[in-house]
Amino acid sequence: MDNEFGAAFGHLLADRCTPDVVRQVERGDSAQALWRDLVESGFVDALVPEARDGAGLSLHQVLPLVQACGYHALPLPFAETMAVRAALAHAGRGWPDGPLSLDAIGDALQAEDRSALHAALTTAQIAGAAERVLEMSIAHAQQRTQFGKAIGSFQAVQHQLSVMAEQACAARMAAQLSFASATHLPDRTLAAMGKNVAGEAAAVIAAGSHAVHGAIGITAEFDLQLYTRRLLAWRVQAGSPSHWAMQVARQWWRGTHRRAIDFTLERLGAAQF
Amino acid sequence: MFDSLSLTRIPAEDEALRAPVRAFLDDALKGVPPEVRARSWSGFDADFSRALGQRGWIGLTLPKEFGGGGRSLYARFVLVEELLRAGAPVAAHWFADRQSAPHILKFGTPQQAQFYLPRICRGEAFFCIGMSEPGSGSDLASVRTRAARNDQGWRLDGQKIWTTNAHRSHYMIALVRTSGAAGSRQKGLSQVIVDLSLPGITIRPITDLTGDAHFCEVFFDGVQLSEDALIGAEGDGWNQVTSELAYERSGPERIYSSVVLLDEWLAHLRTQREPSERSLALAGRVLSSLAVLRSLSVSVNGRLAEGHSPVIEAALVKDLGTTLEQFIPEAIADALGDDPDATLPEGLSRTLQYVSQIAPAFSLRGGTREVLRGMIARGLGLR
């Protein structure tokens, strides 16, 4: 799943989108330099067809890019801009320079596709941030000592981290399903299922990481909050877990599947990767 | 971290097995009530197993020279998924098919493979797994049952417990001590195949809280085993058991144990003109989790198919899977109780009762949740 685009983009963000830069942008400092670096990388046109001078990649291929945005808490709508440009290009339209929100899609997409796209982009960023938060929590549990030993040697802490790892894994698979498309748009049901699962996972991972970190994790100075605040925001952004559960249920209700697995298998069959 | 668990495709030739299996099961299970089908891989029916064997659906992955199907692990995933989906009574051949047969193929001699595997594939040799003992549950390395060398082979003394289907099986693959004391831990353990018809063996079924009797106490009192009862290398039992557990923990049976109940409940919702929002949201949540878990399960299966031993990944997916399996009866009971005056269909009511009562076992069998989380933590680099 990880590919060369993802690795190159990840290196770029590791270099330019450091926790200090994230804080500066959140304080209201200009993000122009960061945005310029991202645009110059060329990745912003990854989903735009080659005929419109893009890279013509599929959603499946750009998943590592969007996960990297979450992993590095990128405070700019890069993934959104990438998706908006693709949607507008496919509708034969142009786009303004600069960061774009999904509102810029206008009527270039049906409402259902737009909300599925928004859900998928958010799910992938949850998966990225979940991985970061899990890594930080494991590292902290290995370094922090109490009662004369690393807190990661206590079973209660270990089990909390194991549950976080399970949820991070679920979020990662949810993102892969959401992006399992050969076009620039996700399958609506897979995106709905993915956002439900990733949204549920986000809350567990954020809470677990703070439990493991203790008081230091609550401070503004410590980096954990950059990712956990986003996890909690992304949990409900583009529709809460319950919202997407209802969408999935309505699709099941409209069908005639005899058994639950039949519905699941049919929808998983739409995955293209 | 766990990057290996990626979206994995089941090859088309293996997916093609689904339709014939489904057609057979639709017919074979016609009229079987849901509370019986909910027993799923705990449901025992020797005739049903033999019927599967006749169709070549036991030992699907074993080489053809031993009576197997010569198919991939993906084909077996499809077969097993369909059996579980329908709630087929597969317990008779389940353990031999899932782990004993691949284990004999991997660690046994050609003679052992030739002796056991063709009968397993025909549904004529049923196996049980002799791991737990009264003093050794999660702490498996403390087993005390001993196989001592003598001039005819091995003399077996000791006791196993919680051995599923021992009273209806022909053979047990037992983890036993062949040297050292209980304190020697992983050293000195070996595996032997025990013919359960031998003198000196007493098997007592234990009735569970639902009234079923599937697990047993098994006593060995001077049981004489022949030389070729040993499977694999003497003293290598711990490594062998660890490899066996990757098969035991990785399959779709760790996500589908409550699926017959889920189907009954969804069918019940369909009889309503307008189900409550709460019920629909629950249905959507479970169906979404199922999609992600099934994808994870296929990817673990893919790791196995590629020849890896995804022990940590299997533990992780099993814990996620059994959590969903246990959530389903609890949440469905709550949703159905929304209307205290409603009368439930009898089948749904009985199925809910059975699955609710047996659900605690889902995170005990095949390694407890707590043991699995400890393994995952070690996989994360924590000690």
In chain B, where does DSSP find H-type helix?
Answer: 12-15, 18-28, 34-37, 46-54, 73-86, 91-95, 101-107, 110-121, 237-250, 259-270, 277-305, 311-336, 346-358, 369-379
Q: Which CATH superfamily is domain B251-379 in?
A: Butyryl-CoA Dehydrogenase, subunit A, domain 3 (1.20.140.10)
pLDDT higher than 60, residue B47: yes
Q: Which of A54-68, A143-157, B177-191 has the lowest mean pLDDT?
A: B177-191
Backbone angles phi, psi at A208, to 5 degrees: -60, -40
**Beta-carbon pairs below 8 A across chains A and B:** 164
Cβ of residue B1 closer than 8 Å to a chain A Cβ? yes
What number of CA atoms fall less than 13 Å from residue A88's CA on the CB side? Answer: 20
pLDDT higher than 90, residue B339: no
pLDDT bucket at A259, cuts 50 / 70 / 90: confident
pLDDT bucket at A4, cuts 50 / 70 / 90: confident
pLDDT value, residue B338 = 86
Residue A96 C-alpha, separation from nearest chain B C-alpha, in angstroms: 36
B285, A196: Cβ pair inside 8 Å? yes
Taking residues A239-263, what's their average pLDDT?
94
pLDDT value, residue B348 = 97
pLDDT higher than 50, residue A187: yes
At A230, list the tokens.
């986003």
Instruction: Select the residue of A134, A245, A258 nearest B284 (Cβ to Cβ).
Output: A245
Tell me how many degrees the CA angle B118-B257-B168 measures, rounded to the nearest 5: 40
At B93, list the tokens.
């051949």
Residue of A134, A160, A163, A173 for testing the chain B interface, max B β-carbons within 10 Å: A173
Domains, in order of start, for chain A? 4-105 (1.10.540.10), 129-268 (1.20.140.10)
Average pLDDT, chain B: 95
Helix (H) or strand (E) holding B217: strand B215-226
| Distance (Å, whole) CA A72 – CA A131 | 10
Taking contacts as CB-CB distances below 8 angstroms, the residues of chain A near B81 are 261
The residue from B82, B244, B248, B325 that is catalytic is B248
pLDDT bucket at B4, cuts 50 / 70 / 90: confident
Looking at chain B, the domain(s) classified CATH 1.20.140.10 span 251-379
Q: Are B204 and B216 a contacting pair, CB within 8 Å? A: yes
pLDDT value, residue B247 = 79
Backbone angles phi, psi at B223, to 5 degrees: -75, 125
pLDDT value, residue A198 = 98
**Amino acid, single-letter form, for residue B281:** A
At A30, list the tokens.
């200009």
Taking residues B215-224, what's their average pLDDT?
98
**DSSP 3-state assignment of A257?**
coil
pLDDT higher than 60, residue A39: yes
Helix (H) or strand (E) holding A66: helix A59-71
Which residue's structure tokens are 């099934």? Answer: B294
Q: What pairing do the DSSP bridges indicate for beta strands B189-195 and B201-206?
A: unpaired
| Distance (Å, whole) CA A119 – CA A234 | 9
Residue B120 C-alpha, separation from nearest chain A C-alpha, in angstroms: 29
Helix (H) or strand (E) holding A149: strand A149-150
Q: What percent of chain A has pLDDT over 70?
A: 99
Considering the domain delimited by B129-236, tell me its CATH architecture: Beta Barrel (2.40)
The backbone region for A137, taken as left when phi is positive above 0, alpha when psi lies in -120 to 50, beta otherwise, is alpha
Higher-confidence residue of B246 and B132: namely B132
Q: What percent of chain B has pLDDT over 70?
A: 100
Taking contacts as CB-CB distances below 8 angstroms, the residues of chain A near B290 are 260-261, 264
Model confidence pLDDT, tens digit, residues A80-100:
999 999 999 999 999 999 999
pLDDT value, residue B1 = 59
Looking at chain B, the domain(s) classified CATH 1.10.540.10 span 12-125
Taking residues B43-48, what's their average pLDDT?
96
Instruction: Select the residue of A142, A247, A264 nearest B291 (Cβ to Cβ).
Output: A264
Considering the domain delimited by B12-125, tell me its CATH architecture: Orthogonal Bundle (1.10)
Backbone angles phi, psi at B146, to 5 degrees: -125, 135
Taking contacts as CB-CB distances below 8 angstroms, the residues of chain B near A163 are 373
Q: Which chain B residues in 293-322 lie under 8 Å from chain A, judged by CB atoms?
A: 293-296, 299, 316-317, 319-320
Q: Are B143 and B189 a contacting pair, CB within 8 Å? A: yes
Helix (H) or strand (E) holding B204: strand B201-206
pLDDT bucket at A1, cuts 50 / 70 / 90: very low
Q: Are A192 and A244 a contacting pair, CB within 8 Å? A: yes
Taking residues B372-383, what's their average pLDDT?
94
pLDDT higher than 60, residue B106: yes
Looking at chain B, the domain(s) classified CATH 2.40.110.10 span 129-236
pLDDT bucket at A6, cuts 50 / 70 / 90: confident
